[in-house]
Amino acid sequence: MKQNLKVIGEHTNHIFKQNTQITQLGKSGQIHEAVKLFSEMTRKNTVTYNSMISALNKNGKFNDARHLFDNMPRRNLVSWNTMIAGYLHSDRIDEAYRLFVKMPKRDRFSWTLMISYFTRKGELEKARELFDLFPHKRDVAFWNVMIRGYGEKGRIVEARRLFDEMPLRVVVSWNLMLSCYTRNGEMRLGREFFEGMALRDVVSWNLMVDGFIEVGDLDSAWEYFEKTPYPNVVSWVTMLCGLARSGKILEARRLFDQMQNKNVVSWNAMISAYVKDYQIEEAARLFSDMANRDSFSWTTMIDGYVHVGRLDKARELLNQMPYKDIAAQTAMLSGYIKNKRMDEACQVFNEIAARDIVCWNTMIVGYSQMGRMDKALDLFKEMKDKDLVTWNTMIIGYAQIGEMEEAVKIFNGMKIKNVVSWNSLITGFLQNGLSMDALTSFKLMVHEGITPDHSTFACSLSACANLAALQVGKQMHNKVLKSGHLNDLFVGNALITMYAKCGRILCAQLIFDDLDEVDVISWNSLITGYALNGYGKQAVQLFEQMVSKGRAGMLSEAFEVVRGLKIRANAGIWGALLAACKTRGNLKLGKIAAEQLSEFEPRKTSNFVLLANMQAEAGSWDEVENTRLSMKYTEAEKQPGCSWIEVRHQLHCFQSNMPMQPETAEVYSNLKTLTSQISNLDCVSKSSLLDNL
């Protein structure tokens, strides 16, 4: 009898050990080893099955997990919960919920699992529904999970309402409420709440420090950090990261050196600070000094090498990494893809045991951005669980290589579409010169009840511009006004272009004037608009206005405008640029402007003088000499302004200070009449425009 008990005890002990091993193997991504062990086990208990299900779930093998779940001899509560967790992890909410409903008994864990899943996904209404349905007394964890959910969605008011309703609050509840404020940049309210907190611990202080860092108020962060009664390692790391993020890497290092109890995270944070500052050698030094590295340390270094373009070094590290986790592998993968080294990317991709959906998508995006839709399609077909990103990427990929039929096929194959799917289709039509189809899609989209976003409007307005479809464009403008996207730069710029291309340059000007901020594209659109509508003079004036604005860097942006200008830049534009370069002392751009200008006005002395002066101010005396020489060489001299016109096959030349000719008086008189007519026209269209708005 004793002997038998001993044997049973040993068996139990053995099974227990093997079960634990399965769990461990599953966690470290060694799923094949786990399966092997499982199939070799002669005695299994319910925990064995549960461990195996969990291991399969953790490695993305949800169907195998379900199969095992359906065929296991006896299921307990943990089996159900494990399977539900797997479904939730793979976003199969419906199946998870079906199991949740079907399970014979639910414990607190099952409920919290479902509720916290919904709060994490930001689907708070569903979470709230379950929360309200919970049949027993809700413990404090339920409330906390809801508050966290509201906080993460920025719904502070609802979080606060729930917080105020709570029958019992522990310090975690107080901190969660505080984090709603600090995580959403509401530091004024946060501070107020913090002052009134009934329960406070070091976490509360850390949250305040982190919150201030997040809004860029480093002084207040430092103040709270110094005031923290018993700072822990998190306090130090938070402050260290704050300093690093504001580029104060020396101060961060000083803090790091002062730390008494450094842990892995402190080291990782410091390494990450160096990596973000492109100081890869210093990061490597710290990395090699570390006693205990974790997967964060490895990933940070691998990513660091990727970002300085040393892919081979990154790969070397990945090979050395003891337990490769998905983050490190993904860093390597995206490094290869960004450098278009697809063969090596493929290799890494194949090495990843627990490939998640993003890994697949990353590969597909890589191929599609290279125009390799054949390869993208292979992966797309191979993929079991596709999400919206997968489908949308395929649409975009086909559109970019001009295969709109394929793009439409993919689009039509989608069961669920979101606004990005529609935008991708509309953009595709637009890019392939099918503006009419773009507008039709817009109508369909609205008809199907999808709310257009700023991107939809920007694209569809471009389509209107291409078609010079003023009426549709106006209707869309109206929709933009109602949608609240008017102040979006992309939409604003598209509106400017639309009105300009439809010949309503004054409307374009009004849109431009109303924008809160403008960028190069806005200027470009407006200037091009004036030029297209025959207002050359205004275009040049506007351009001068643009280069004379205060902002540093505007000068190079102005050059970008000229380069991107749909019309060929003329002497006026280059002259304005040259003058602006002189004012700002930008010799480099000045030379380019002068060079261009010499093509239009090879003999205009003032251009040469301006350039020579700039060179002199910069102390480049050799260049001054060269400019003077080339001025002589081209015999630059003051040339009178001159203009030609062809009338009935005869060329007429007008020159300023030209002696009176018989027609001259008549010409001037006609010109005066025309000018006044044009300015009257301007007034008319402006006032009728105002009436319309």
| Comparison of 166 and 234: residue with beta carbon closer to DNA | 234
Nearest Cα to 59, choosing from 20, 24, 95? Answer: 24
Return the structure tokens found at 632.
């002589």
Rounded distance between C-alpha atoms, residue 57 and residue 63, angstroms: 9
How many other C-beta atoms are found inside a 10 Å radius of the C-beta of residue 469? 20
Contacts of 356 (CB under 8 A, 6+ apart): 60, 326
| Comparison of 499 and 574: residue with beta carbon closer to DNA | 499
- Least distance from DNA to the Cβ atom of residue 420, Å: 4
Burial of 330 (0-12, 13-18, 19+ CB in 10 A): buried
Q: What is the DSSP letter of 60?
A: T
- Least distance from DNA to the Cβ atom of residue 495, Å: 12
- Least distance from DNA to the Cβ atom of residue 462, Å: 6
- Least distance from DNA to the Cβ atom of residue 625, Å: 48
SS (H, E, C) 399-412: HHCCCHHHHHHHHH
| Comparison of 521 and 555: residue with beta carbon closer to DNA | 521
| Comparison of 241 and 480: residue with beta carbon closer to DNA | 241
Total residue count of the chain as it appears in this document? 693
Compute the 3-state secondary structure of the chain and give helix, strand, coil in percent, each to the nearest 5. Answer: 75, 0, 25
Rounded distance between C-alpha atoms, residue 234 and residue 196, angstroms: 23
| Comparison of 497 and 607: residue with beta carbon closer to DNA | 497
| Comparison of 134 and 490: residue with beta carbon closer to DNA | 490
Angle at 555 between CA 546 and CA 553, to 5 degrees: 110
Burial of 461 (0-12, 13-18, 19+ CB in 10 A): buried
| Comparison of 263 and 620: residue with beta carbon closer to DNA | 263
- Least distance from DNA to the Cβ atom of residue 108, Å: 19
Rounded distance between C-alpha atoms, residue 54 and residue 38, angstroms: 12
Rounded distance between C-alpha atoms, residue 580 and residue 596, angstroms: 15
Rounded distance between C-alpha atoms, residue 479 and residue 454, angstroms: 11
| Comparison of 298 and 512: residue with beta carbon closer to DNA | 298
- Least distance from DNA to the Cβ atom of residue 423, Å: 4
Rounded distance between C-alpha atoms, residue 335 and residue 324, angstroms: 16
- Least distance from DNA to the Cβ atom of residue 558, Å: 21
| Comparison of 425 and 531: residue with beta carbon closer to DNA | 425
Task: Give contact residues for DNA (rule: CB under 7 A).
Answer: 172, 175-176, 179, 202-203, 206-207, 210, 232-235, 237-238, 241, 263-266, 268-269, 272, 294-300, 303, 325-328, 330-331, 334, 356-359, 361-362, 365, 387-390, 392-393, 396, 418-421, 423-424, 427, 453-456, 458-459, 462, 490
